[in-house]
């Protein structure tokens, strides 16, 4: 296969209630694949790159076109296999089997290194699927927004004994496809954020999408805006075009102490995800092309500078956390031996949610009509009104989230809630209260679908951080349950060699068959998360499993 072609193509998902495929199952896969490459959604759609460094939706344009053509002809008794972004076969199955099965970036463990993987990728043999890029369910920055909101809400409770971040401020970096959620999450919780990014285009985009409030043109101006808003307990997000490795040490030098510190650059991918000190984005591109080894040495040196500054801020009293981009590992490899003194966000703030089967759950309106999402919002506010935390999020999202591509929503829902939600949505489709079917999926960052010792499974109670059976079992169970498509990936979020994770999508098309599959998949998918944490010895998981529909032998 030839190298990935660069194509000047403008991809958007079809809208409306008319199909170009033979079923809504395959139409949903087609629309979500295309939605991943919508310029409103994707970071670099001309190169098929969706988010997270080089996370792609398809291996190359030839593969994309073949996937699209196959989906349009696929019957309800066939399943398409996609091997790292390339369609490789259509096999006879049955009507309740998945229509698509995807495996991305899988490498035999001995060979699972950055150098080997990216060499194979350069030869057209594999593709980095990130998490929701190569599984066709990315929904733009909103996809991480709610998880960031949940993380910071938990931080407020744990660290400050508060329900929000009013009167607190956060220093962080990265305004890309994932990090771009940070400013809005902070202000939704009443706090103030200073977000640093070296790419001026990232700031422009976040201002245009209303994720970022204002841009400062110097650190002095940024800090003045931050301190004024904190004093007034007024939510505000401030962007600054600068390098984190310059700004963080300068805050230390000035004895300026943020309440919270983090980083959400794409540091898991050193080649493109972190720009070293003294370079613009364009200069970095030229430098890596001219001398990759020398360029990477400069990247690592800059990460080490930033990490040491974060550790200094912790010593001064700031609450700091690694937000899952493998920043600490890169810093440790660069010589910062105590980089893991920076806490991981999952064991500190999110594991109590994972232990009871709760995680980031999402849905997209295949019609393209925002009114369909608004109708589901109203249903949640009515049917789940006892869950005030969920309802607060839904109200805030309805007021403040700008849709990118197909209208979508995300929230944290737990064991039992997801299944009930799915049945209710299927009923809305059946009775015509939404205008077309709804695709229901989730992030791969979830309760039972990932093995990632530097993030989701860091510091497990029984030491099972690196055990990767669980995401494979999750994917197999979702296939057996009749999910519409199922994916297994390697390396997303934290880089090659560091994680295995799985995802699913199920389509609510209003039919009894869909309702039957929802009752299996949306019960079993979070259920295996409860089982995974019960197996690791979490008391709340063990207690929940005793009342669950599944059994632990």
**What number of other Cβ atoms are within 10 A of residue 537's Cβ?**
13
164-350 under CATH 3.30.360.10, yes or no: no
pLDDT at 6: 52
Average pLDDT value for residue range 391-403: 92
Bridge partners of 359, per DSSP, are 413
Percent of the chain with pLDDT over 70: 99
Q: Looking at 21, 241, 391, 411, which residue is catalytic?
A: 411
Indicate the length of the chain as a whole number: 553
pLDDT band at 3 (very low <50, low <70, confident <90, very high): very low
pLDDT at 48: 97
What lies within 8 Å, CB to CB, of 8 at 6+ separation is 46
Q: Is the pLDDT of residue 53 over 70?
A: yes
**CATH number of the domain at 26-140+356-553, please?**
3.40.1770.10
pLDDT at 26: 98
Report CA-CA distances (Å) from 508 to 25, 71, 136, 216, 310.
Answer: 9, 18, 17, 45, 45
Q: Where are the alpha helices (DSSP H) in 455-495?
A: 469-481
The CA angle 430-419-492, to the nearest 5 degrees, is 110
Q: Which two tokens stand for residue 20?
A: 């170009």
Q: Is the pLDDT of residue 393 over 80?
A: yes
pLDDT band at 268 (very low <50, low <70, confident <90, very high): confident
Task: Determine the longest span between alpha carbons in the chain, in angstroms.
Answer: 66
What lies within 8 Å, CB to CB, of 214 at 6+ separation is 207, 225, 236, 237, 238, 239
What does the pLDDT look like over 418-443, one tens digit per residue? 999 999 999 999 999 999 999 999 99
pLDDT band at 449 (very low <50, low <70, confident <90, very high): very high
Q: Is the pLDDT of residue 83 over 60?
A: yes
Q: Is the pLDDT of residue 4 over 50?
A: no
Mean pLDDT of the chain: 95
Domain ranges in the chain with CATH number 3.40.50.10730:
164-350
In the residue annotation, 241 being an active-site residue is answered as no
What does the pLDDT look like over 162-193, one tens digit per residue? 999 999 999 999 998 778 899 999 999 999 99
What does the pLDDT look like over 310-357, one tens digit per residue? 999 999 999 999 998 889 999 999 999 999 999 999 999 999 999 999
Q: What are residue 438's phi and psi, to 5 degrees? A: -115, 130
Domain ranges in the chain with CATH number 3.40.1770.10:
26-140+356-553
């Amino acid at each position: 296969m030839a190298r990935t072609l660069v194509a000047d193509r403008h991809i958007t998902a079809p809208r409306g209630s008319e199909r170009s495929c033979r079923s809504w199952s395959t139409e949903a896969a087609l629309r979500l694949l295309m939605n991943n490459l919508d310029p409103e959604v994707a970071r670099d759609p001309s190169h098929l790159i969706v988010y997270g460094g080089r996370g792609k939706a398809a291996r190359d344009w030839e593969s994309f076109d073949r996937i699209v053509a196959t989906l349009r002809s696929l019957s309800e008794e066939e399943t398409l296999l996609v091997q790292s972004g390339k369609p490789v076969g259509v096999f006879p199955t049955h009507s309740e089997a998945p229509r698509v099965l995807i495996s991305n970036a899988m490498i035999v463990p001995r060979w699972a290194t950055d150098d080997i993987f990216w060499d194979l990728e350069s030869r057209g043999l594999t593709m980095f699927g990130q998490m929701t890029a190569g599984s066709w369910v990315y929904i733009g920055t909103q996809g991480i927004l709610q998880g960031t909101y949940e993380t910071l809400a938990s931080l407020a409770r744990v660290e400050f004994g508060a329900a929000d971040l009013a009167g607190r401020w956060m220093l962080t970096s990265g305004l890309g496809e994932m990090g771009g959620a940070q400013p809005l999450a902070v202000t939704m919780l009443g706090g103030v954020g200073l977000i640093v990014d070296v790419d001026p285009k990232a700031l422009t985009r976040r201002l245009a999408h209303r994720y970022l409030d204002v841009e400062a043109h110097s650190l002095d101006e940024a800090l003045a805006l931050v301190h004024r808003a904190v004093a007034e307990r007024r939510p505000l997000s401030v962007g600054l075009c600068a390098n984190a490795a310059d700004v963080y040490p300068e805050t230390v030098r000035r004895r300026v102490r943020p309440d919270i510190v983090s980083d959400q650059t794409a540091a898991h991918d050193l080649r493109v995800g972190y720009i070293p000190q003294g370079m613009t984005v364009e200069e970095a591109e030229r430098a890596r092309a001219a001398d990759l080894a020398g360029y990477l040495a400069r990247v690592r040196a800059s990460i080490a500078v930033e990490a040491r500054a974060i550790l200094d801020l912790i010593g001064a009293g700031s609450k700091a956390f690694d937000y899952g981009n493998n920043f600490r590992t890169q810093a440790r490899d660069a010589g910062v031996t105590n980089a893991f003194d920076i806490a991981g966000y999952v064991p500190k703030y999110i594991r109590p949610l994972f232990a009871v089967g709760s995680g980031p759950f999402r849905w997209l309106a295949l019609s393209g009509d925002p009114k369909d999402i608004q109708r589901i919002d109203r249903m949640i506010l009515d049917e789940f009104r006892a869950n005030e935390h969920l309802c607060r999020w839904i109200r805030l999202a309805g007021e403040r989230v700008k849709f990118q591509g197909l209208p979508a929503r995300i929230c944290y829902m737990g064991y039992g809630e997801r299944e009930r939600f799915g049945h209710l949505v299927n009923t809305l489709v059946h009775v015509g209260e939404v205008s077309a079917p709804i695709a229901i999926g989730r992030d791969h960052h979830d309760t039972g679908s990932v093995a990632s010792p530097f993030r989701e499974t860091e510091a497990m109670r029984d030491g099972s951080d690196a055990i990767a059976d669980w995401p494979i079992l999750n994917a197999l169970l979702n296939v057996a349950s009749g999910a519409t498509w199922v994916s297994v990936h390697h390396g997303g979020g934290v880089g090659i060699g560091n994680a295995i994770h799985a995802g699913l999508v199920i389509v609510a098309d209003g039919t009894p068959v869909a309702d039957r599959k929802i009752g299996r998949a949306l019960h079993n998918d979070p259920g295996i998360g409860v089982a995974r944490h019960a197996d690791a010895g979490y008391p709340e998981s063990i207690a929940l499993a005793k009342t669950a529909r599944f059994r632990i032998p």
